Every structure is written in C-alpha cells, then in structure tokens.
Chains A and B, each alone.
Chain A
Amino acid sequence: MRLVLPAVSAVLALLVLTPLLGRGFVLNYDMVFAPDQSLLPDGLGLGSALPRSVPADAVMSFATALLPGDVVQKIVLLAALFAGPLGAGRLVPTNSVAIRVVAAVWYGWSAYVAERLFMGHWPYVVTYACLPWIAAAGLAVRRGEPKALPKLILACAPAVLTPTGGIIAAVLAVVCSGRRTLAVTVPVTVLLNMPWLLPSVLHPGGSLSSPDGVGAFAARTENWGSPVTSVLGLGGIWNAEVVPGSRGMPLLPVITLLSVAVALAGLRSLAPRWGLAPARSFVVLGAIGVAIAVFGTLPGGGDVLAWAVSHVPGAGLLRDSQKWAAWWALPLSLGFALGVEAAGKYLTNRTALVALAALLPLITMPDFAWAGLGRLEVVDYPADWSAVRTVLAADDGAGDVLALPMSAFRRFSWNGDRTQLDPAPRFLPRTVVIDDVVYVGGRPVSGEDGRVATIRRAMARNDDLGAFGIGWVLVEHGTPGSVDPGVLRGLREVWSGPWLTLYRVPGVIAPPPAGVPRLPVVAGDLGALAVVASGLLWLLLPAGRFSRSSHSRTAEEQACAH
C-alpha cells in the first residue's frame, strides 16, 4: 500500500508529460530552456533588468553544465508534477490511503498547475510542488521534531528560484512553523531569498513597475462565474490563451462551490489532528491567497494596486495576482479529501464515493492530459542558434548583444507559431538586451529596464550603438516585427542563416552601464547557498545524532533531578 501514492503521483505526471519526454525543448510563453545556458550577470540579478528569473537562470546555468538543457527541463517538469501530488497526499492527517489519493489528485490535477505550465511559469509549478513538503516540514518544526529545520530548508530551496516563489514558500514555512520559532524561520527564509532580494533592493533604477499592467494581469473570469469562483477553483490566470478549454464548462462554478463547501467541512477535522493554531493559520493563509488573487478585480482594487505598483518598491509582484492562490491549493485539496473521509462514514458504499472524488478533477479538466492535448510540443532549435553561439563564444571583443526586432516575445514557425520568450538571452554566451515592453491584448505594458529605453531612443536617432555597450546586433527572422534598415547601416554582417543574422558593431565599444553592485549580491548568493548546504549536511552528517543525544541526556538529567 505504501507504493499506491507514489504510483498515483507518477501516473498523474506521466499523463501530462509523456508526449514531451523525447529529446528537444518545450518552448511556450515564458518557458525557455537552452542546451547549455551560460552564467551571465543577468542570471545573478547583476544586469540592468529587474531580477525576475533570479536565481533560476543561474541555477539552470549550473544544471545545463552537467546535463543537456532539454534533459534538465524534462527532469524539472517531471519532478514537479510528481512531487506536488505526492507531498499533498502525504500531508493529509489520515490513515486511509484512498483519502491520501483524493488529496493527491486534487492537488496535482489542478487548474493552477495546468495554466501555469501552459504559461511557461515552470518556477511557479516547482514552488507549487514544494508547498506540501514545506508545510509538512514547518509543522514538524512547530512540534520540535529532530532535523525538522534542515528538512524545511531543503523543501524551500527549489521554491526560491524566483521572487514570487520565494515569498510564497517563505510565508508558508513561517506560518506552519508557528510563532515560537519565528526567531529561526524568519532569518532562514530571508537568507534563502537573498539571491533575488538584494538585486531588487540595490537595483539602480529602483523596483517600481508600470501600473499599465495591473488591469491586464488581473485574475479573470473563465466562465459565467466570477473571478472569485475561478480563483476558488485554482484557475483565473490573466491570460485567456493558456486556459484549458474545459475551464469554460458551464457546470464548473457549481462544482467549484460544492468542492469548497466540502473542503470547508473537511477542514474542521484538521484542528483536532494538527492542533488549532496550525490548522487555523494554514486555512487563513489560503484565504489570504484568494483575497490577494481577486483584490484587483474588486471595485477600487485595481486603483489601489495601480498606486501601489507605481509607488511601493516591489509591489509589482502583486501584478498577475492569481499566482498567490497557490496558498489556497493545499487547504482546498486536504479539506476536500477530509470532507470525503467524513462523508464516507455515513455511507455503506464508500469505495464509489472515494473513486468519484478522486476522478472528479480528471473528469472536469480532461484537456490537461497529454500535454494539454497537444498544446505543448517538443521542438529543436534550428542550427542557426548554435552557429551564432559559436561565433559569439569565439570572439574576445567587448560588447553585449542587441536582439531585434524589438520585442520580448517571438513566434517562429519552427515552434508551431507559439508565443515564446526570446531565447537569445539564455541561448547565447553573452548578455543579450531584449525589449521589455510587452503587448497584452494589443496594448503595450511598459518595462522597467532603463538601458532598453535608452537604446530604443538611440536607435530612433540612428546613434552609434557601441556607445551604449552594444557590440553585436542579432536579427531574428520569421517572427513578427520589423527592423529599421537605418539601424543596420554601417554594421558588419558576421553570420547569416535562414533564422538569424549576426552583425558586429564597428568602432569602440563602451562598457555596459553599471548595474547592481556585485559584492553584496554575491555575498547574498553565498549566504543562501551556505544555508542550503548546511541543511543538507545537517541531514546527512552525524551532527543530528549529537543533537539528539544531547536532548536525551538533558531528559535523563531532568528525570534524575526529579
């Protein structure tokens, strides 16, 4: 019976990912993996852009140094889709394997995972997978179990690859660990988040964002219900293009409300098993996640958010607010499973009830299966990309690369015309400057990178790009957008193929503008690394034994004293 839960979790992961397990890359919206990602200043948050993918890019640089990038991508996705349901099933305080399976399926086969995966937000999917393990370790810390703290550190480590993931993980860890351990859990989680926190705080342009995107990135209604019902059902991502079609099913709001009712009934049995304080904090955090997710859609909420985003540093993290519903996923899944367990006591045919409860997520969202019924596919980069990478790697000259046309996103026919983030910054071995203005529903949402704005103005005046630290210009073909011939005039063509043309900027290349100070950022990275390494060593080395023996000695001494 011990293998049932891992087996169910593996089946869930394979049901989604089997079509993607061949060699090649899944490139969709924000998901970009490259065969051998170089470690560049941007990966550590030292560039001119805000550290949105920090330290994820640095970690991927190390991972792809050991394994090919496509293999790393598949391992990450498989591990995330397997570990999430497994952790949720293990977290349910019950002796019934069937009830654990219900929680696992509800957690693993959720709209949150589907929509974030289709949106390419793989770090959020990883964070989501870590949450049950963080909660379990946090509860163990609260109970004072041996080695609970290193387990909490290691459960948080994969979740802190991005700012949002780091905050979601840290808050859950602190909440589950309880008030008495705040003096330990708060410093530890802050240290773990240092790799993105320090570059954000020290960013020369500040960390304010454009308020344009607040409305565009707000949680949305997926059917005749409201954003609240969408978010309560763990859906409601802002981008209609990545929502599984089944989320528009007319019956879904009714099923969502019924499942929430069952979950709330089931959560009442959490307090006697976990204790009142942890159970209450756990559920309140879920409610807070829902509240943040729908706040922008409430009357006046959008205005408050717009003000916050443009006046409060870091408040840009509140855009795309549906991501905070991750905190609600565990209370919903565990509560629903416990509700089913409670209801089963009144029925003679308990098997049918549990089977229906476990299958309900698959029945209501069948189009998550098989990579979203073909929504995601594996593709190979054209040979041009490797050729340009080789040229750039062989040149010792200074200068960053400017990617044209000016657009953060591309659509190539070699990738089925999917919208995808420009792969150049992760594929090429030099810092690549890409436009940070994104178009949502045809309307531009301003970026925050001052360097990009400067270069855009320089191109409009046909100024020398070398004066802005640009040594190369990469023109990507077969994607929407045009390139002003005036910008390319005077540049020397170095390499050209059907998909890419690389130009050298002649003359003196100025150094790139000073970014974030390196010393504190590297110190923060080392601090976070040291915390993770300490957690790992604490678990593996016999240090824990000394600590346990010291505890037992104390207990014996106390017994003798009495």
Chain B
Amino acid sequence: MRTLIGAVIAVVAGLAFAGGGTYVLVNSLAPDKAVQLKNAPAPNNSNPDTVNYGTP
C-alpha cells in the first residue's frame, strides 16, 4: 500500500510539475505577443457597434 501511494504521488507530482512548468515557460517565452495584446480589444469585441459581455 505504502509503495502504491508513493508511486501515485511521484507520478502526479512529476506530471504536475512538468506540465505546469512547461506551460508557464511556454507562456512566459512569448512576452512580445503579450505586450502587444495587452491593450488590444478582445477579438470578440472587434465589432465597433457592440460590446460583448463574453464568449461562450
């Protein structure tokens, strides 16, 4: 039982750290795009006549 729990924890921890780390790294490696889009209107709000409440 102890080994099984240890194995599950190791797998989950490894996957979470790897996945989360990769995601954060990939996101943080695109700063130019983020800066450019920071003040841009949301794509759904490209219509000049309406303000969208959101996008499903």
Contact = CB atoms under 8 A, between A and B. Distances in A.
Interface residues of B, number: 33
A109 interface: no
Nearest to A356: B13
Interface string B26-56: 0100000000001111101101111111111
Given A246-B23, A479-B51, A480-B48, A258 B12 contact: yes
B56 A240 contact: yes
Contacts of A240: 54-56
| Secondary structure class of chain B's binding surface, majority of residues | helix
A439 B13 contact: no
A292 interface: no
Nearest to A357: B9
Interface in A399-424: 407-411, 413, 416-417, 419
Contact of A417 (B15, B16, B41, B56): B41
Contacts of B24: 246, 366
Given A251-B15, A417-B40, A347 B48 contact: no
B41 A440 contact: no
A411 B20 contact: no
Contacts of B17: 363
A22 interface: no
Nearest to B13: A356
Nearest to A482: B49
Contact of A255 (B16, B40, B42, B45): B16
A364 B56 contact: no
Contacts of B54: 29, 119, 238-242, 419, 440-441
Given A215-B56, A258-B8, A356-B9, 5 more contacts: A216-B56, A246-B20, A255-B12, A346-B5, A366-B24
Contact of A480 (B47, B53, B55): B47
B52 A363 contact: no
Contacts of B50: 407, 439, 442, 480-481
The 8 closest A-B pairs by CB, nearest first: A239-B54, A251-B19, A409-B51, A438-B53, A363-B20, A346-B2, A439-B50, A240-B55
B19 to A, nearest CB: 4
Contacts of B23: 245-246, 249
Contacts, number: 121
A218 B17 CA distance: 31
Contacts of A216: 56
Contact of A239 (B5, B40, B51, B56): B56
A532 to B, nearest CB: 33
A240 B2 CA distance: 41
B2 A347 contact: yes
A487 interface: no
A428 to B, nearest CB: 19
Contacts of A482: 49
A364 B15 contact: no
B56 A220 contact: yes
A38 to B, nearest CB: 25
Q: Which of B8, B27, B48, B53 has the most CB of A within 10 A?
A: B53
A144 interface: no
A346 B6 CA distance: 9
A486 interface: no
Interface string A212-223: 000111101000
12 contacts: A245-B23, A249-B19, A249-B23, A251-B15, A258-B8, A346-B5, A364-B16, A366-B20, A366-B24, A419-B51, A480-B45, A480-B50
A408 B55 CA distance: 16
B51 A374 contact: no
Nearest to A219: B56
Nearest to A261: B8
Contact of A241 (B12, B40, B44, B48): B44
Given A346-B1, A364-B20, A480-B47, A239 B55 contact: yes
A254 B51 contact: no
A511 interface: no
Nearest to B53: A438
A353 interface: yes
Nearest to A481: B49
Contacts of B8: 258
A315 to B, nearest CB: 20
Contacts of B49: 480-482
Interface in A434-465: 438-442, 445
